Amino acid sequence: MENKKIKRALISVYHKDKLDEIIKKLYAEGVSFVSTGGTKSFIESLGIPCDTVEDLTSYPSILGGRVKTLHPKVFGGILARRDMEQDLAQLEQYEIPEIDLVIVDLYPFEATIAAGADEATSIEKIDIGGISLIRAAAKNYKDVVILASEAQYIPFLELINQNGASTTLEERRWFAKEAFGVSSHYDSAIFNYFDGDNASAFRMSANGSKSLRYGENPHQSGYFFGQFDDMFEQLHGKEISYNNLLDIDAAVSLINDFEDITFAILKHNNACGLASRPDLKEAWEAALAGDPVSAYGGVLITNAIVDKETAEEINKLFLEVIIAPDYDLDALQILTQKKNRIILVLLNNKVPKKQFRSVLNGVLVQDKDLHTETTGDIKVVTEKEPTTEEIEDMIFANKIVKHSKSNAIVLAKGKQLIASGVGQTSRVDALKQAIEKAKSFEFDLEGADCRWLLPDTDILNIKIKLKKHIWDFFHLRRK
């Protein structure tokens, strides 16, 4: 299909980066402009003439700016089908000029509620005119180009620099698709604000699409939707995979529960090594000692800045990913010696408070488990009371088992993960697996703390004493 020439553009935006280049190029191509308020002043500051929407509609902005563009002379020029004589006749009858390009963005509703604004302020940030212009222009993509956010500025600028002020049907359809993505995300945010905790419907929208090499297995396609760069800065390494992302998610959730200097090693979303120590190098060595076999090819995370001394020890191991709040320069020089090693800086450890997953023909949603037990949550029901160190180990082990796949058993001692049995169909098998693993690495289980995680049950604290292979269990239940 032949290209459509842009002759007239309606522009009304907040974000103006790169907009000047677009306007100058369009003006050089003979495009005229109509705009509102601040955008009109911006266009005129470039030495380019611009009509006002009020001149077009013969109506002023009313109701405190709530009604500016909602008028047949605006929407008629956007929605008119250029291949229908009846539509064109009505444009002529009512003196409505055609509008071939709409550039508009929306009031920052999400940013407003994220800042904790009151309801009255939030309601005023629900865009009416902008969202209507977006939908109208996107609907009539056969004749009109729509730029619904600053994310489309650069693609459009590249297009007009190459082809002039004209677009193909395929290009206009792409911009329309992007515009409906903007409008649907915006409406989802508004719905979720009004719905609150009622859970009357499931509306989840995530911007930013990243195609992955494959999904969990090579024969599965995979995608990530979200703003990964808001949470991490990748300093080095290969492209992050689907399975990497699952491990990274598990690692961040796990490390968030620890305040002491802690190092954790994960494989298949479970901790295979974890320790808290006053010194980072000591924490790494103790974490690795928990299971040096499983640590191979693992995902590492710490809540402390990685120094050179620790990096030298880490570099002895093959690993997929390392995550830290920062790295000393000389530590980075060591860690980047491996070309494919993924090195991430954790910029923001905040995670959503809700979790969801697809099930059957629907979605399961639950609150994320953000609760961490403290000494105040433990009630002693045995004659012999645990020591302060034993209670600290119970809390330490409970943090780990909380993030392990059920059925799970965690054995811990001295703020070190000694061994774990995870993902077993029987708690007995999980315990056997944990004990065998601890023995294989020659750990002394005398006085170790055992925590288990069972489906649909409380987490139990069990104190283990080994006497000629006889195990005594002292149950310390939560309140």
Catalytic residues: 139, 268
- What would you report as the CA-atom Rg of the chain, rounded to the nearest whole angstrom? 30
Of the candidates 208, 201, 171, the one whose C-alpha atom is nearest the C-alpha of residue 187 is 201
Contact 232/346 with Cβ under 8 angstroms? Answer: yes
Q: What count of other Cβ atoms lies within 10 Å of the Cβ of residue 274?
A: 30
**Strand 101-104 vs strand 8-12: parallel, antiparallel, or unpaired?**
parallel
Q: Is 337 helix (H, G, I), strand (E, B) or coil?
A: coil
Contact 402/368 with Cβ under 8 angstroms? Answer: no
- Torsion from C-alpha of 191, 194, 199, 200, nearest 10 degrees: -70
Of the candidates 212, 247, 243, the one whose C-alpha atom is nearest the C-alpha of residue 226 is 212
**233 vs 236: CA distance, rounded Å:** 9
Alpha helices in 164-315 (DSSP H): 169-195, 228-231, 242-255, 280-290, 308-314
Place of tokens 């080994």: 466
Q: 139-142 long-range CB contacts below 8 Å, 24 or more apart? A: 139/79, 139/176, 140/78, 140/79, 140/80, 140/81, 141/169, 141/172, 141/173, 141/175, 141/176, 142/81, 142/82, 142/83, 142/169, 142/172
Return the bridge partners of 236, or none. Answer: 343
- Torsion from C-alpha of 177, 180, 181, 187, nearest 10 degrees: -170
The verdict on whether omega for the bond into residue 407 sits within 30 degrees of 0, i.e. cis, is yes
**267 vs 265: CA distance, rounded Å:** 7
Q: What count of other Cβ atoms lies within 10 Å of the Cβ of residue 252?
A: 19
**237 vs 249: CA distance, rounded Å:** 18
- In order of 81, 118, 400, the CA distances from 453 in angstroms are 63, 41, 10
**24 vs 21: CA distance, rounded Å:** 5
